C-alpha cells in the first residue's frame, strides 16, 4: 500500500506554505512531558522542538535520562504511568494538503489516537521478547493488528501478514506464522517486531534502541533492512539511540538531547563534523574510535548526568562543561540559536554577547 | 608498583585445549542425549601486565570461557596453567578446596551489570569489606581504612562508604564492582562486558580508570566484550571466538589491519563507524543465516555454512589454529594463505570517497 503520488495542486500548496520545502510529517513544538511521582517532579521532556521530514531518518541521541525515549513515546501519545504531556504540540500531517492534526490534543485512550497508533505510527522497541506475546503465534498477533486497522477479512489479513514477514526477510514466512516468539532467535524476533510495526504500512516508525540488544552482525542486517524498507515505503523514522556509530550510519538528521532538552539539531554531517554545542563535541570525542589504538586516553566528560530531581540552574550541562562561563552559564537558560541553515544549538556561548 | 619489562613477556595464564561441555538431558530419566560444546578446545595465553580482548557474537562461548577460568565450572578437559605468585605454574583445571579459594584472591571478575552483581541490601563498606574479611586481609578500623583507600583508587568518595548501591549512579556502581574486584590485590582481572551497560561518557571514564589501574597495580586483564571499538582501544591482543573455538588470535593492530579469518572480516565490516562520511551501507559483508545450533554443530569448520569463501575441505575437516605470517598471529582457516581479506581501516574507506 504505497502512498499515492501528490497532485500538482497539492504539491504547490505544500511548496507555497513552507517556502520551497515540503512540510514535515511531524513537527514537535515545545513539548513538555513531566512525571509526577512521590519523590518529586521529573521534567523528562522539557521544551523539545524538532521536526521529522517525510521519508527521512531522524536520530535522537543522548545518554540515559536525557528523555530521548519519552520523546518517542510522547509522539505515540503513550507516556508511561505517572507522566503526561503537560504542554506543547505534536503536529502530525499525513497529507500535506490538509491541516495538521495535533496529537497532544487527542485523548491517549480515545478512538482517534488508537486509530493512529499502530496503523500510521509504528513502534519497535529494544526488547522484542517483551513486545511479543509468548502465548500467541506470530501469525495470530499479526492478523489481529491488521484486522484491527485495515478492513480485511481473515484470509486476506493472513496473506498480508505472510507478505509482510517475507518483506522483513523471515525465511518460510507461511510456516513461521504458526511459530511462537520464543522459537525465533534475537535477530529474527526483531524482524518479526518490524513486520508487526509495518503491517499496516505506517507513515512513521518510532524505533527505540532497536539494535542495542543485538550482536554487531545482526545489527548491521537490521539497519540495512530498515533503510531498504524506508526507501520502499517512503517511511519516516524516528530512531532513538545512544550509539553514535549507528547514528552516523543511518541518520539524515540528528537531535542531541541532554536532561530533557534539545541541545543541538542539524544534519548528520554537520553534527559529526562541525558540532556547535560543547556537549555534542564532548560526546563525540568520548567514543572509542577503531583507528585510534589503545595508546591514548579517551577524552571524557567530567562528572555524570545529574539526578533528574537536582537539575542544575541555568544551562543543564554547565557543571560538566569545560567551556562554561561563570556568572552566565550557571544563571541563564540558553535559547536555541541558529548557527546555519538547519543547524540549531542551545548554548549561551553562541549567543549575541557571550 | 610497576611491572618490569622482562616480566611482561612471560605468560601469566595459559589455556591448553580447554573444553567446557554441558550435557543436554532429556526424558524421564534425564538421560544425556548430547553435549553443548560451549568451549571446545581453546588454547590461549595472556602475558603479564597485558590485556587480552575476547570478542565474538552472543553464544560464541566467550563468557563461558571466562567462567571456566574462574572455575565457576569444572572444565571437561584441558589445562588452565596459571603462574602463581611463587612463579610456579598451577593447573587451575584440577584445583579444589582451599587451594582454589586461595586462587580466587588472585583472579577476580567484574561483571556487566553492577545493578545485579551488587547486593542491594549491603552498604558499600560491607560489599567491599566482605572480600577483605573472607580472605583474612583486614578487620575493624583497618578494614575501614582499606575500603576508603580502595574507593579513592577507583575515584569514589570514601565518605559514601555507608551508602547502599541504589544511591549511586550506574557508572559509580561499576566503580564499586571494580573496587571489590581489586580488594584482595589480584593479579588477573576478568572483565566480562564490564563497560557494555554504561553510557558513552561514563564508559570512557571507566575505560580510562581500568587502564590507570592496570598501570598502577600491574594488572593483567582478560577483557570479554562484544564492542569491537572498545576492545581495540583497551587490548594488546585480541582473540576472536566462534562456536566455542578461537578462530583468530593476533596483536590488536594486526587483527584490525590484516584479518586472516573470514569471520573476523565479516565482524569488522559490521561495526558502525562514528562518522557519517564513512558509511558502509552496501559494502558490509552479510553473513548468511545465523550461528548454528551449538547442540548440533556443522561438520568441518563451524563457520563454513555462513562463509562466502567456503570450499570442499571446509565442510569435511576442522581447521586447526595455526600461526600465519608472524608467530603471534594465528588463525583457524584452511584458506587463510590464499584469501585477500578487507582490513578494518577507516582511513582506507576515507580514501575511497
Q: Of B235, B269, B304, which closes a domain?
A: B235
DSSP state of A202: -
Nearest Cβ partner of A293 from B199, B253, B272?
B253
Tell me the residue length of chain B.
353
Nearest CA in chain B to A299: B204
B24 and B173 in a single domain? The answer is yes
End-to-end CA distance of chain B: 48
Nearest Cβ partner of A297 from B208, B279, B287?
B208
Nearest to B79 by CA among B150, B149, B16: B16
Per-residue pLDDT tens digits for B79-119 = 999 999 888 999 999 998 899 988 999 999 999 888 888 99
In a domain, B245, yes or no: no
In a domain, B131, yes or no: yes
Q: Are strands B51-55 and B237-242 parallel, antiparallel or unpaired?
A: parallel
**Domain count across chain B:** 2
B86 and B174 in a single domain? The answer is yes
Phi–psi pair at A42, nearest 5 degrees:
-115, 120
Helix (H, G, I), strand (E, B) or coil at A189: helix
DSSP state of A136: S
- For the residues B149-173, what does the mean pLDDT come to? 91
B89 and B206 in a single domain? The answer is yes
Give all strands of the β-sheet with A337-340 in edge-to-edge order: A121-124, A204-208, A236-241, A57-61, A253-258, A261-267, A343-345, A337-340
Share of chain B above pLDDT 70, in %: 93
Q: Yes or no: say if B42 and B56 are a contact pair by the CB < 8 Å rule.
A: no
B223 and B279 in a single domain? The answer is no
Residue B166 touches partner A, C-beta closer than 8 Å: no
Collect all residues of chain B within an 8 Å Cβ-Cβ radius of residue A268: 276
User: Across all residues in chain B, what is the average pLDDT?
Assistant: 88
- For the residues A316-343, what does the mean pLDDT come to? 92
Nearest Cβ partner of A272 from B202, B252, B276?
B276
B207 and B258 in a single domain? The answer is no
Nearest to B185 by CA among B218, B160, B155: B218
CA B210/CA B189 separation, integer angstroms = 10
B131 and B14 in a single domain? The answer is yes
Give the number of A-B residue pairs with CB atoms closer than 8 Å: 145
Collect all residues of chain B within an 8 Å Cβ-Cβ radius of residue A246: 272
In a domain, B158, yes or no: yes
In a domain, B243, yes or no: no
In a domain, B343, yes or no: yes
Helix axes A216-233, B262-270, angle to 10 degrees: 50
B166 and B105 in a single domain? The answer is yes
B343 and B198 in a single domain? The answer is no
User: Across all residues in chain A, what is the average pLDDT?
Assistant: 88
B62 and B179 in a single domain? The answer is yes
Residue A23: the pLDDT is: 86
Nearest Cβ partner of B208 from A268, A272, A298?
A298
Q: Of B204, B235, B266, which closes a domain?
A: B235
Supply the pTM of this predicted model: 0.86
Q: Yes or no: say if A53 and A25 are a contact pair by the CB < 8 Å rule.
A: yes
Residue B2: the pLDDT is: 45
Q: Yes or no: say if B17 and B78 are a contact pair by the CB < 8 Å rule.
A: yes
- For the residues A252-275, what does the mean pLDDT come to? 95
B227 and B280 in a single domain? The answer is no
Is the pLDDT assigned to residue B11 strictly greater than 50? Answer: yes
In a domain, B244, yes or no: no
Is the pLDDT assigned to residue A294 strictly greater than 60? Answer: no
Contact A305 B344 (CB under 8 A): no
End-to-end CA distance of chain A: 52
- For the residues B51-73, what does the mean pLDDT come to? 92
- Asked which of A117-126, A305-314, B163-172 is least confident by mean pLDDT, the reply is A305-314
In a domain, B66, yes or no: yes
Compute CA B274 distance to the chain's CA centroid, rounded to the nearest angstrom: 24
B349 confidence band (pLDDT: 50, 70, 90): very low
B319 and B179 in a single domain? The answer is no
Residue B100's domain comprises 5-235
- For the residues B159-166, what does the mean pLDDT come to? 92
Is the pLDDT assigned to residue B67 strictly greater than 90? Answer: yes
Nearest Cβ partner of A288 from B229, B272, B279?
B229
Residue B51: the pLDDT is: 96
Residue B275 touches partner A, C-beta closer than 8 Å: yes
Residue A246 touches partner B, C-beta closer than 8 Å: yes
- Asked which of A144-148, B141-145, B165-169 is least confident by mean pLDDT, the reply is B165-169
Q: What is the CATH number of the domain that holds B28?
A: 3.40.50.300
Collect all residues of chain A within an 8 Å Cβ-Cβ radius of residue B229: 245, 287-290
In a domain, B247, yes or no: no
Is the pLDDT assigned to residue A211 strictly greater than 50? Answer: yes
Cβ neighbourhood burial of B301 (10 Å; 0-12, 13-18, 19+):
buried
Q: Which ipTM score applies to this complex?
A: 0.81
Which chain B residues in 213-242 lie under 8 Å from chain A, judged by CB atoms? 226, 228-230, 232-236
B101 and B26 in a single domain? The answer is yes
3-state SS of B166-206 is HHCCHHHHHHHHHHHHHCCCCCEEEEECCCCCCCHHHHHHH
- Where are the strands (E) in A1-156, listed by range? 26-37, 40-52, 57-61, 83-92, 101-102, 121-124
Amino acid at each position: 500500500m504505497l502512498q499515492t503520488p501528490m497532485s500538482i495542486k497539492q504539491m504547490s500548496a505544500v511548496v507555497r506554505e513552507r517556502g520551497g520545502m515540503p512540510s514535515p510529517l511531524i513537527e514537535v513544538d515545545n513539548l513538555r512531558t513531566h512525571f509526577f511521582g512521590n519523590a518529586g517532579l521529573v521534567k523528562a521532556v522539557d521544551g523539545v522542538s524538532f521536526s521529522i521530514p517525510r521519508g527521512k531518518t531522524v536520530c535522537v541521541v543522548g545518554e540515559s535520562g536525557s528523555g530521548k525515549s519519552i520523546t518517542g513515546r510522547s509522539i505515540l501519545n503513550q507516556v508511561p504511568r505517572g507522566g503526561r504531556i503537560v504542554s506543547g504540540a505534536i503536529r502530525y500531517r499525513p497529507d500535506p494538503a490538509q491541516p495538521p492534526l495535533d496529537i497532544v490534543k487527542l485523548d491517549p485512550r480515545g478512538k482517534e489516537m488508537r486509530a493512529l497508533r499502530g496503523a500510521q505510527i509504528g513502534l519497535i522497541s529494544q526488547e522484542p521478547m517483551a513486545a511479543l506475546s509468548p502465548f500467541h503465534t506470530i501469525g495470530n498477533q499479526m492478523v489481529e493488528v491488521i484486522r484491527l486497522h485495515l478492513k480485511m477479512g481473515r484470509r486476506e489479513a493472513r496473506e498480508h501478514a505472510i507478505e509482510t514477514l517475507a518483506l522483513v526477510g523471515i525465511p518460510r514466512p507461511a510456516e513461521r506464522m504458526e511459530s511462537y516468539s520464543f522459537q525465533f532467535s534475537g535477530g529474527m524476533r526483531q524482524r518479526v517486531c518490524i513486520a508487526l510495526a509495518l503491517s499496516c504500512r505506517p507513515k512513521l516508525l518510532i524505533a527505540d534502541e532497536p539494535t542495542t540488544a543485538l550482536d554487531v552482525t545482526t545489527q548491521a542486517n537490521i539497519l540495512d533492512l530498515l533503510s531498504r524498507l524506508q526507501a520502499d515505503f517512503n517511511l519516516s523514522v524516528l530512531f532513538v539511540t545512544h550509539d553514535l556509530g549507528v547514528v552516523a550510519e543511518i541518520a539524515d538528521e540528528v537531535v542531541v538531547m541532554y536532561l530533557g532538552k534539545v541541545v543541538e539539531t542539524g544534519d548528520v554531517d554537520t553534527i559529526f563534523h562541525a558540532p556547535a554545542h560543547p556537549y555534542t563535541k564532548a560526546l563525540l570525542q568520548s567514543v572509542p574510535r577503531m583507528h585510534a589504538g589503545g595508546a591514548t586516553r579517551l577524552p571524557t566528560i567530567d562528572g555524570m548526568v545529574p539526578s533528574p530531581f537536582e537539575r542544575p540552574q541555568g544551562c543543564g550541562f554547565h557543571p560538566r562543561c569545560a567551556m562554561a562561563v561563570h556568572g552566565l552559564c550557571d544563571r541563564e537558560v540558553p535559547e536555541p540559536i541558529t548557527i546555519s541553515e538547519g543547524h540549531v544549538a542551545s548554548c549561551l556561548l553562541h549567543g549575541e554577547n557571550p | 608498583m610497576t611491572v618490569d619489562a622482562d616480566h611482561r613477556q612471560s605468560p601469566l595464564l595459559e589455556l591448553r585445549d580447554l573444553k567446557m561441555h554441558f550435557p543436554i538431558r532429556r526424558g524421564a530419566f534425564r538421560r544425556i542425549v548430547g553435549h553443548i560444546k560451549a568451549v571446545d578446545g581453546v588454547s590461549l595465553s595472556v602475558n603479564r601486565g597485558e590485556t587480552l580482548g575476547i570478542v565474538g557474537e552472543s553464544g560464541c562461548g566467550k563468557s563461558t570461557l571466562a567462567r571456566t577460568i574462574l572455575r565457576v565450572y569444572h572444565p571437561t578437559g584441558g589445562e588452565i596453567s596459571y603462574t602463581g605468585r611463587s612463579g610456579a605454574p598451577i593447573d587451575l583445571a584440577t584445583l579444589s578446596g582451599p587451594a582454589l579459594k586461595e586462587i580466587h584472591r588472585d583472579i577476580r571478575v567484574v561483571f556487566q551489570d553492577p545493578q545485579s552483581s551488587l547486593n542491594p541490601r549491603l552498604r558499600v563498606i560491607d560489599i567491599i569489606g566482605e572480600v577483605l574479611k573472607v580472605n583474612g586481609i583486614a578487620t575493624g578500623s583497618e578494614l575501614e581504612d582499606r575500603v576508603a583507600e580502595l574507593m579513592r583508587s577507583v575515584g569514589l568518595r570514601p565518605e559514601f562508604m555507608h551508602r547502599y548501591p541504589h544511591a549511586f549512579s550506574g557508572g559509580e556502581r561499576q566503580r564499586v564492582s571494580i573496587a571489590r574486584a581489586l580488594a584482595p590485590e589480584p593479579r588477573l582481572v576478568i572483565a566480562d562486558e564490564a563497560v557494555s551497560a554504561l553510557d558513552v561518557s561514563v564508559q570512557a571514564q571507566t575505560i580510562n580508570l581500568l587502564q590507570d589501574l592496570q598501570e598502577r597495580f600491574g594488572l593483567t586483564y582478560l577483557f570479554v566484550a562484544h564492542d569491537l571499538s572498545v576492545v581495540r582501544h583497551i587490548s594488546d591482543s585480541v582473540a576472536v571466538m566462534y562456536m566455542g573455538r578461537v578462530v583468530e588470535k593476533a596483536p590488536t593492530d594486526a587483527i584490525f589491519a590484516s584479518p586472516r579469518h573470514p569471520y573476523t572480516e565479516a565482524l569488522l565490516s559490521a561495526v558502525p563507524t562514528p562518522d557519517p562520511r564513512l558509511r558502509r551501507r552496501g559494502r558490509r559483508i552479510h553473513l548468511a543465516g545465523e550461528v548454528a545450533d551449538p547442540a548440533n554443530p556443522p561438520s568441518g569448520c563451524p563457520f563454513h555454512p555462513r562463509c562466502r569463501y567456503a570450499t570442499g575441505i571446509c565442510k569435511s575437516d576442522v581447521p586447526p589454529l595455526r600461526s600465519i605470517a608472524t608467530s603471534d598471529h594465528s588463525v583457524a582457516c584452511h584458506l587463510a594463505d590464499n584469501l585477500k581479506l578487507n582490513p578494518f581501516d577507516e582511513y582506507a574507506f576515507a580514501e575511497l570517497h
